[in-house]
Chain A
């Protein structure tokens, strides 16, 4: 028999640079998790509730800031943080993403693999992407059993030509479809919000 904590913690990490991640802290936390301005300044928030039209579940929020993402990620992957990674449902990184940056693929790859299968790894890009750069506004890096997804938080549209949600809406959807521990998926009683 294994005793384990449920994987019900979301780690959100903002870039410490005032021009990108950090300045989004309050609004993003408010919009995404429905926090008030004061809570949004906390580092640990317990027993929050994630609600969808099909289920609700309680979760904890860990909020961090970093100067250098690569260094922060390396630290998170150290053995001493094993116990922390084991209870994370997912990680949301809020920072500029530079598609020109050399070695970006390796960083994303590392990010995708830092938690186990079944978790979500989202990079909220705070940089405005120009259309002609051709960066797919809906990019997922697929690894063996994990993936890292790019969400363009500055995206003007909230739905693309394929009916796929973009920006904050997609971020919400990623958390919605996460298979939370303890939430038994098929209840199959349709509750249509009128």
Chain B
């Protein structure tokens, strides 16, 4: 990957979450979930360590259950490709409070950097738009990231999708909690739900 001016993933994610207020954020399996933790642990962070391909659907379930809350899925190109059908499902439901940001390094960074389909052929921005997500953006500058971060808080104008081209630097792993029950119950508690 020799393209110039690709964005730094940690800077992108910390900008997306900088003024997060009541946002619930879901991090897809892989480096995205680590990036979310690196930006600062939070009671409304949903870290995925498995279930590859499921991040956007977890976001949809949450967004439909809490239509007044901004829900932001932050995932990678490989994870999004595996759950590509969920873009059609989301395009049909049109949850106005759901945003998806894909950190696209065109590679499977966790497994040795093998190139992904987005490196040569697959255009996730076009796919999302063709699935009915009209606000679908190709992002290559931090100014565009900042604009998207602001848009996430408008819960009446989604769903929205952004594909952010990032560099494929391998960064120090900042590992969030791996306890799924804790993660879910911490969010539920923050939203005011009692344990069963």
Partners in one complex: no
List residues of chain A with CB under 8 Å of any chain B CB: none
